[in-house]
Amino acid sequence: MTEFSAVDMACLRGQTLVFADLAFRLKAGEAMVLSGPNGSGKSSLLRVLAGLNAPFSGDVSWDGENVFEDRQAHADRLIYVGHLNAIKPPLTVRENLDFWAGMLGNRPAVADAMAAFDLTAIADAPGRVLSSGQGRRLNLARLCLDDRPLWLLDEPTVGLDVASCRRLEALIQGHRDKGGMVILSTHVGIDVPDPVTLDMARFSRTVDLLDGGVR
Ligand SMILES: Nc1ncnc2c1ncn2[C@@H]1O[C@H](COP(=O)(O)OP(=O)(O)OP(=O)(O)O)[C@@H](O)[C@H]1O
């Protein structure tokens, strides 16, 4: 069975050691919810798991293979939705998704992706006029553009109305039912059944390596 795991992981941002001794193991169909106070390292961890930042130490593995040995293979198995919306302001909703579909390689899925997040009625609106929640829905619609086993979602519910939250929960459940994995950070309740939980406060260090001090 597919497994995604980390051992002895530490993360450096600038000169600050953000967390250390972090470990987890996630199997196909499982979801992991990251909790912890502001600055405890949730976004930093998601960036490392997406292969965007290397860990300061430790291993991140997919089926026993270190993901940093073949970053492209890892990038091809995941969809990362960061906490900032990656939207091109002059492009319409449809054009933004066309762009992402080209990147992910599945152009025909754009109409389904818009329908999944109730974006069809605003398909021709340019990105620059979207409300924050509409922008969030557009960002999340990327999840429907390709069938990739690993979803990494940084505070996906921020700005979403109740109906959109329910849509996201259903999408996550459908993904898990097909054997997909999800790792998400959140400060608020999102209904993810039987989650693996990771409280970042347990691993948080915030040590300034140059000063040698602890904040
Ligand atoms: N680009 C950066 N350069 C240096 N330090 C950074 C950078 N990004 C984040 N940090 C620091 O890393 C620490 C962890 O930040 P991170 O964004 O991962 O926390 P978080 O748990 O996601 O916070 P929040 O709940 O506020 O979103 C913080 O002390 C932050 O100041």
Nearest atom of ligand 1 to the alpha carbon of 187: 25
Rounded distance between C-alpha atoms, residue 157 and residue 117, angstroms: 13
pLDDT, averaged across the chain:
92
Q: Which residues line ligand 1 (CB under 6 A)?
A: 13-14, 16, 18, 36, 38-44, 200, 206
153 and 65 within one domain: yes
pLDDT given at position 14:
87
CA dihedral 84, 88, 92, 98 (to 10 degrees): -90
117 and 201 within one domain: no
Which ipTM score applies to this complex? 0.95
Q: pLDDT tens track of the chain, all 215 residues?
A: 899 999 999 999 888 899 999 999 999 999 999 999 999 999 999 999 999 999 999 999 999 999 999 999 999 999 999 988 889 999 999 999 999 998 887 667 899 999 999 999 999 999 999 999 999 999 999 999 999 999 999 999 999 999 999 999 999 999 999 999 999 998 887 889 999 999 999 988 766 666 655 54
The total of structural domains in the chain comes to 2
Ranges assigned E (strand) in 63-194 = 65-66, 78-81, 150-154, 181-185
Residue 161 lies in a domain: yes
Which residue's alpha carbon is at the smallest distance from atom 24 of ligand 1? 38
Which residue's alpha carbon is at the smallest distance from atom 16 of ligand 1? 41
Nearest atom of ligand 1 to the alpha carbon of 14: 4
pLDDT given at position 51:
95
Domain finish residue from 97, 125, 147: 147
Domain range enclosing 123: 87-147
Residue 82 lies in a domain: no
Closest to 147 measured CA to CA, from 190, 191, 111, 101: 101
pLDDT given at position 211:
64
